[in-house]
Each structure stands twice: as C-alpha cells, then as structure tokens.
C-alpha cells in the first residue's frame, strides 16, 4: 500500500496530526523554553512576548534600519506563532494548500533564524523550545504529504 493510498484510506491522519501538534505547541508555552544566562530561564509564553514586542518595535516604527542583526533574529523567530495560526486557519480549505506550503517554508526558515539567534547569543534551548518545534512540525507535516487523488482516478 502506498502512502497516497494510506492517506486516502485513513483521512483522519491529517486532522489528528494537526490536533496533536497543536496540543504540544500550546503546551510548550507553559514550559521553560530557554536559559539565557546561567540563572535566567524564560518560559515559552515569555519568549513569545519578547519576540512579538521586538517585531512590533522593529517594523512598527520609523527608522527600522537602525537595528542590530540580533534584533531581527528575535523578531523573525517570533513569526513562527502567527504563521502556525495561519496554517491552522487555512487548513480546512483545499484551495489554500499552496499558501499553507509557503507558510510552512517560512516557518522552517524562522526556526533556522531562532537557532542562529541561540548560537550567537549563547542561549540554551530547554524542553519548552523542543516541544514548540515538535508541535509546529506536526502541524506542518500534512503540507509535505502528497495531495489526494481526484475522485474516479485510476490506480497506476
């Protein structure tokens, strides 16, 4: 049985992946996410607040070109949350599949920016960060699976 046949037979797989991913993603906000210095541990919701604030600071005011590279990395890492929300909101609409795939690529690029930030600032990821990434990836996995066949398509 091919992957395509499996997905056609088990249509519940995609919603379950997204639901489990969403549960893990939300749980991550309650867990310790990063250690910034030897003694400073930030929870996921605190990291999200900092990243959102940084994004609004960078792009919400004039003179955005006067900021440091690290500030952009913080802001870009904060875009994962709204992009995941957009993927979830667009998921019931088949016509938005390409848009969801674009969002998925952007999320992965934002994840890379997060890891560059961690490396440059010597930030240690903790359980909340790993749950956040795992939840986001579970939500995005359906975008990498082959699409459903058209009704009446013949098996090759």
What pLDDT is stored for residue 68 in this prediction?
A: 82
What pLDDT is recorded for position 57?
80
How many CA atoms lie within 13 Å of 137's alpha carbon, on the beta-carbon side?
Answer: 10
Q: Is 112 a domain residue?
A: yes
The two three-digit tokens of residue 128, written as one number? 């909340």
Q: Is residue 51 one of the residues assigned to a domain?
A: yes
- Give domain status of residue 155, yes or no: no
Structural domain that includes position 53: 3-33+42-144
Whether 151 is covered by a domain: the verdict is: no
Q: Domain tally for the chain?
A: 1
Domain assignment present for residue 85? The answer is yes
Q: What is the pLDDT along the chain (156 residues), one digit of tens a residue?
A: 566 665 555 678 888 889 999 999 999 999 999 999 888 999 999 999 999 888 888 776 665 556 688 888 998 999 999 999 999 999 888 899 899 999 999 999 999 999 999 999 999 999 999 999 999 999 999 888 776 544 444 444
Question: DSSP 3-state assignment of 93?
Answer: coil
- CA dihedral (5, 141, 148, 92) positive or negative: positive
Supply the pTM of this predicted model.
0.81
Closest CA to 138 of 27, 5, 51, 42: 27
CB atoms within 10 A of CB 155: 7
Would you say residue 18 lies in a domain?
yes
């Amino acid at each position: 049985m091919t992957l395509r046949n499996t997905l056609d037979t088990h249509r519940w797989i995609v919603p379950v992946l997204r639901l489990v991913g969403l549960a893990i993603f939300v749980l991550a906000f309650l867990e310790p996410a990063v250690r910034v210095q030897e003694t400073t541990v930030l929870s996921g919701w605190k990291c999200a607040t900092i990243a959102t604030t940084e994004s609004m600071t960078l792009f919400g005011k004039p003179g955005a070109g006067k900021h440091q590279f690290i500030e952009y990395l913080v802001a870009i890492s904060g875009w994962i949350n709204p992009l995941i929300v957009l993927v979830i909101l667009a998921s019931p609409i088949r016509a938005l599949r390409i848009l969801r795939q674009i969002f998925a690529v952007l999320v992965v690029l934002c994840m890379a920016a997060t890891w560059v930030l961690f490396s440059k600032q010597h930030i240690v990821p903790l359980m909340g960060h790993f749950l956040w990434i795992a939840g986001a990836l579970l939500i995005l996995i359906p975008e990498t699976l082959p699409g459903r066949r058209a009704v009446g398509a013949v098996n090759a």
